[in-house]
Chains A and B, each alone.
Chain A
Amino acid sequence: MDWHQLWSILSTPDNVPITALLFLVPFYTWYGLRQAFANDRLIAQLETDPVLAKTHPRKTFPFRPGWSKEVPVWPYLLRIEFLAAIIVTVILFVWSVALNAPLEEPANPNLTMNPAKAPWYFLGLQEMLVYFDPWMAGVVLPTLIIVGLMAIPYMDANPLGNGYYTFKQRKWAILAFCFGFLGLWVLMVIIGTIIRGPGWMWFWPGQTWDHNRVIFEVNRDLPDIFGITSMVGKIIFGLIALGVYFGGAGWAIHKLFVMNEFNRKIYQRMTLLQYLALQFFLTTMMLLPLKMVLRLLFRIKYILVSPWANI
């Protein structure tokens, strides 16, 4: 166990946000879900008690008849905003007094940094480079992330859970988003920061960064395993394999989606375009974990091989 190595990674000033991330993200996930579960209990109670549902203010917060539903912004909101500004300023001051922004040697194109890491918030993309070629990891997938995020409000046909925390009423939406945000984005950022060392190789926390390490890996392409050698054969095989993946994943997602009564109702409300877009983004998102499994467990590099692009 090389504590020094671990400490030198964690205490690198530019990695402090990651350390903050390690605490903040779990905290706010817990903070949000706790309120979601509290609301879910209230919802369950109101569903079984229609009389109560008519009179209850329908929030978990205390409310007495006679209290006004609104409060003046001054002072009730503004004082909080001023306080928040002061607290953030103090945090930023203390942080800036305690830790110095990094400054390396002057830029030198002849002296390669190893590992050459992107800023931490882009390490998710850099980590994807392990599993996809640059045109996918660096251009197509980021674009799809942005477009996919923007499409969320137009694909989510579930009218429940608008303006309050809930888990039960939006189970699939929340699980899918958390999988993408926590599992594929935040986790990849953390892996990129803490785990990846020289040569972008995998070093467990506490393992010494060995700059001379060579990992001998023989990666194969999926068509090779099936003994396909001609280029045309590989392209056709790759397209079929991708087709099988999208078909299979789409089918699995559909089965999960219509598993319960409520979701079947939501499904009924969706237009064809909404449904296809949702399927497209979900299956494309799952392509990443699929390629991770293929690579890490089976040493398979590409599914589709062609002279122009590989996936």
Chain B
Amino acid sequence: MADEKDTQTDAKDTQSNGKGRVAGVIEKVKEQIRPKLNQDLEGLRQPQKTQLYKSIFRVKHEETPRSRSLSVLSNVFLHLHPARINRDAVRYSYTWGMGGITFYLFVVLTFTGVLLMFYYHPTKIQAFRDILYLEHDVPYGKLLRNMHRWGAHLMVLTVWLHMFRVFLTGSYKKPREFNWCVGVILLVLTLLLSFTGYLLPDDQLGFWAVTVGTNMARATPLLGSEGPLGPQLGMTAYNDVRFALLGGSIVDSNALLRAYIWHCIGIPVIASTFMIVHFWRVRKDGGISGPSPVMLAKEIKPERP
């Protein structure tokens, strides 16, 4: 804009006169634009005052207890946390952080898993080749597969340690009995998630592990073709639980497809649902259980009525 004005005035007026007028115009522009520019620069200096920032974060960030609480409570990702917490509960020594790490690993696994899905076809013809392709041709494909594999192993370890911690601190006691049960279901789901994924590369390792694993299903009492009372109830290799799990009487293409669907859709959805309940109950049961003041034997309240 300023440039355009300059050329226009240049054309009309004589040179000596023009120089003075140009300077005047520049002065004028400076005068008008500088405060506006300063306003914008102020926004860069203090981004928290901008409309953009306020529209996203809703609350001011100040070092006051109120503002700190609000920044947790008004954030959809953080609001599962309480605003304040027992001062000793933030010590690593109490929770070992294992529940949180388990959840974080679940998130990492979901992320890497979705990326893997872009390259994987659950068919007997393609599955194994897709893994080779991932390992040798896809940029960072090997890293991606490794992270998904080791993340899964790590998650199994952390969930065991989480359960161990919860037991040692007696955190399953009243009022957290039910959340412990939800946890046990999550433990089983974590193991199943890992197990269904084992078959997907369609290599010898997964094939025989799943063969060994599902052969046991044959022996299910009543429902398995080789289980106690199974044959008497009419169970054969073609209609028992193992058949239902594998979609056939041997580990083959149907089994691969079933493992894939359970692994990528079924169990993750169920596990996420139980995790939501688990976290909700941690809050509703009064937050993290401790470290609470020790209780003495003589302080036990008399029996329940």
Q: Measuring CB to CB, which residues of chain A are less than 8 angstroms from any residue of chain B? A: 14, 16-17, 20-21, 24-25, 28-29, 31-33, 35-36, 39, 42-43, 46-47, 53, 57-59, 61, 67-78, 80-81, 84-85, 88-89, 91-93, 95-97, 99-109, 111-113, 116-122, 125-126, 129, 133-135, 137-140, 146, 149-150, 152-154, 156, 159-166, 169-170, 173-174, 177, 181, 186, 262, 265, 268-269, 308-309
Option from B147, B168, B202, B289 in Cβ contact (under 8 Å) with A36: B168
Question: Could you tell me the distance between the alpha carbons of A310 and B188 in the complex, rounded to whole angstroms?
Answer: 27
Q: How large is the interface on B (under 10, 10 to 19, 20 to 34, 35 or more residues)?
A: 35 or more
Minimum distance in angstroms from A182 CB to a CB of chain B: 9
Question: Could you tell me the distance between the alpha carbons of A166 and B90 in the complex, rounded to whole angstroms?
Answer: 19
A164 with B147: CB separation less than 8 A: no
A119 with B294: CB separation less than 8 A: no
Q: Which B residues are CB-close (under 8 A) to A81?
A: 97, 100
**Residue ID in chain A nearest B216 by CB atoms:** A138
Known A67-B87, A73-B83, A163-B171; contact A84-B100, beta-carbon cutoff 8 A: yes
A159 with B173: CB separation less than 8 A: yes
Count chain B CB atoms within 10 A of each CB in A126, A160, A169 and give the residue with the most: A160
Q: Which A residues are CB-close (under 8 A) to B161?
A: 24-25, 28
Question: Could you tell me the distance between the alpha carbons of A153 and B178 in the complex, rounded to whole angstroms?
Answer: 8
Known A70-B86, A135-B219, A159-B174; contact A103-B300, beta-carbon cutoff 8 A: no
Option from B88, B153, B156, B211 in Cβ contact (under 8 Å) with A116: B211
Q: Which B residues are CB-close (under 8 A) to A119?
A: 194-195, 198, 209
Q: Which B residues are CB-close (under 8 A) to A93?
A: 147
Option from A53, A101, A126, A164 in Cβ contact (under 8 Å) with B212: A126
Q: Which B residues are CB-close (under 8 A) to A101?
A: 145-146, 148-150
A84 with B188: CB separation less than 8 A: no
Question: Could you tell me the distance between the alpha carbons of A241 and B174 in the complex, rounded to whole angstroms?
Answer: 39
A154 with B177: CB separation less than 8 A: yes
B157 with A21: CB separation less than 8 A: yes
A70 with B147: CB separation less than 8 A: no
Q: Is the interface of B mostly helix, strand, loop or mixed?
A: helix
Top 7 closest A-B pairs, CB basis? A138-B216, A163-B290, A58-B293, A153-B177, A134-B219, A107-B207, A96-B146
**Residue ID in chain B nearest A154 by CB atoms:** B177
Q: Is B258 an interface residue (CB 8 A)?
A: no
Q: Is B279 an interface residue (CB 8 A)?
A: no
Q: Is B220 an interface residue (CB 8 A)?
A: yes
Option from A21, A109, A173 in Cβ contact (under 8 Å) with B251: A109
**Residue ID in chain A nearest B154 by CB atoms:** A92
Q: Is B110 an interface residue (CB 8 A)?
A: no
A164 with B209: CB separation less than 8 A: no
B209 with A309: CB separation less than 8 A: no
**Residue ID in chain A nearest B215 by CB atoms:** A134
Interface residues of B in 89-109 (CB under 8 A from A): 89-93, 96-97, 100-101, 104-105, 108
Question: Could you tell me the distance between the alpha carbons of A113 and B203 in the complex, rounded to whole angstroms?
Answer: 11
